[in-house]
Chains A and B, each alone.
Chain A
Amino acid sequence: MSSTDKRKVTAEDIENLLEVFKQSGWDEMHLQTGDLEIFLSNDPTAQGPRAATAPAAAAAPLAAPAATGAAVAPVVISAAGPSGHAPIPAGHVAIKAPNLGTFYRAPKPGAAPYVEIGQQIETSTEVCLIEVMKLFTPVQGGVKGIVREIRARDGQMVEFDEVLIVVEPN
Chain B
Amino acid sequence: MPIRRVLSINRGEIAARVVQAAHALGIEAVQAVSQADRDSRAAQLADRVVVIGPPPSRQSYLDAQLLVHTALQTGCDALHPGYGFLSEREHLARLCAEHGITFIGPAAETIAALGDKLQAKAIAEAAGVPLVPGTAQLAQAEDAVAAAVSLGYPVLIKASAGGGGRGMFIARSREDVLGGFDKASNEAREAFGDGTMYMERYVENARHVEVQVFGDGTGKVIHFGERDCSIQRRYQKVFEEAPCAAMPDALRAQLHRSAVDLVSSLKYRNAGTVEFLYDVDRQAIYFIEVNARIQVEHPVSEQVTGHDLVRLQFEIAAGEPLRWTQDQIPVKRHAIEVRLNAEDPYRQFQPSPGRITRWVPPQGAGIRLDSHCYEGYLVPPYYDSMVGKLIVTAHDRESCVIRLQEALARFEVEGLITNLPLLRFIASHPDFVANQLNTRWLEQVLLPAFEATRE
- Residue positions of A touching B, CB distance < 8 A: 25, 27-28, 41-45, 50, 56-65, 72-73, 75-78, 80-83, 99-102, 131-133, 135, 157, 159-162
Contact = CB atoms under 8 A, between A and B. Distances in A.
Nearest to B366: A27
B17 interface: yes
B53 A100 contact: yes
A46 to B, nearest CB: 8
A130 to B, nearest CB: 10
A43 B302 CA distance: 11
A-B CB proximity, top 10 nearest: A44-B306, A59-B370, A27-B365, A157-B73, A62-B308, A159-B51, A61-B24, A133-B65, A61-B20, A58-B16
A57 B49 CA distance: 20
Contacts of B333: 42-43
Given A75-B45, A83-B38, A59 B50 contact: no
A73 to B, nearest CB: 7
Given A43-B365, A59-B13, A59-B299, A80 B35 contact: no
A160 B45 contact: no
B309 to A, nearest CB: 9
A56 B363 contact: yes
A131 B65 CA distance: 10
B70 A157 contact: yes
Contacts of A45: 302-303, 306, 308, 368, 393
B59 interface: yes
Contacts of B87: none
Given A43-B393, A80-B49, A132-B65, 6 more contacts: A59-B16, A61-B311, A81-B50, A99-B66, A100-B66, A160-B53
B371 interface: yes
B50 A100 contact: yes
Contact of A59 (B34, B70, B332, B368): B368
A18 B51 CA distance: 51
14 contacts: A44-B332, A45-B368, A50-B363, A56-B369, A58-B372, A61-B21, A62-B302, A65-B306, A73-B23, A75-B47, A80-B50, A100-B66, A102-B69, A135-B65
A160 B51 contact: yes
Contacts of B68: 133
A24 B13 CA distance: 35
Nearest to B41: A58
B194 to A, nearest CB: 43
B46 interface: yes
Interface string B297-319: 00100110111101100000000
Q: What's the dominant secondary structure at chain B's contact region?
A: mixed
B13 A58 contact: yes
Contacts of A80: 48-50
A56 B361 contact: yes
B54 A160 contact: yes
Nearest to B95: A133
A43 B368 CA distance: 11
A84 B68 CA distance: 24
Contacts of A65: 306
Interface-central residue, B34, B73, B303, B371, by most chain A CB under 10 Å? B73
Interface-central residue, B34, B48, B359, B394, by most chain A CB under 10 Å? B48
Contacts of A77: 44-47
A133 B92 CA distance: 13
Contacts of B46: 75, 77
B288 interface: no
Interface string B25-65: 00000000011001001001111111111100001100001
A58 B23 contact: no
Nearest to A47: B368
B173 interface: no
B69 A133 contact: yes
A102 B311 contact: no
A161 B34 CA distance: 11
A41 B50 CA distance: 40
A159 B35 CA distance: 10
Contact of B371 (A27, A59, A76): A59
Nearest to A162: B51
B172 interface: no
A154 to B, nearest CB: 14
B24 A72 contact: yes
Interface-central residue, A25, A61, A76, A159, by most chain B CB under 10 Å? A61
Contacts of B232: none
B418 to A, nearest CB: 16
Contact of B20 (A44, A58, A159): A58
B51 A60 contact: no
B183 interface: no
Contacts of B41: 58
Contacts of B51: 81-82, 100, 159-162
B77 to A, nearest CB: 16
A123 to B, nearest CB: 22
A63 B360 CA distance: 24
